[in-house]
Amino acid sequence: MKDMYFDEVSCRYVLIEEFVKEETGIDLGAWLNTFGDANPSNVPKRFLKRVSMEIYNYIEKRTFKNRLLINAEIAAPHKRQMFCEALLNQVMYMVNSGDYGLQSGVNLKDGRAMSLAELRGDVRVSPDAIDCLLNGGFLYAGNMDGGAI
């Protein structure tokens, strides 16, 4: 069974809904609220694109890597497996924490709207996903001769 596809618009690898169901037992179509959505059959796919975005953004913010470098790394079979595991862990984390959409909150002190990402900070990425990224070498921040930067 195929695990991920390459989304040419975002230049990111994204999990396939059936693979998520097979590996985690989570039926995203049943879990995600599609009420009032103009295209309810597309909700799981959009959710999985958000999962991918979270992981790519996490890597890009913490390393010198851009999407091109990340995608080149994913071409190696062992790295692809670790990246896929990171995405699966992020799916489970977001489903279990109820992070289904792009909700926002309010900063009562400043009286302004805040994005969910701003409210949650680093806790928006699963610790298990971070471990997979570390173990796969995606968060390496050294130089080519093995020394730390």
Q: Regarding predicted confidence, which is higher, 38 or 21?
A: 21
pLDDT digits (tens, 9 = 90+) for 88-106: 999 999 998 876 554 555 5
The pLDDT confidence band at residue 17, using thresholds 50, 70 and 90, is: very high
Determine the residue type at 18.
E
Judged against a pLDDT cut of 60, whether residue 134 lies above it is answered with yes
pTM of the model: 0.81
Q: Where are the alpha helices (DSSP H) in the chain?
A: 17-24, 28-31, 43-62, 67-74, 77-97, 116-120, 127-135
Q: How many CB atoms lie within 10 A of CB 72?
A: 11
Q: Are strands 12-15 and 4-7 parallel, antiparallel or unpaired?
A: antiparallel
The CA R_g of the chain, rounded to the nearest whole Å, is 16
- Residue-averaged pLDDT of the chain: 85
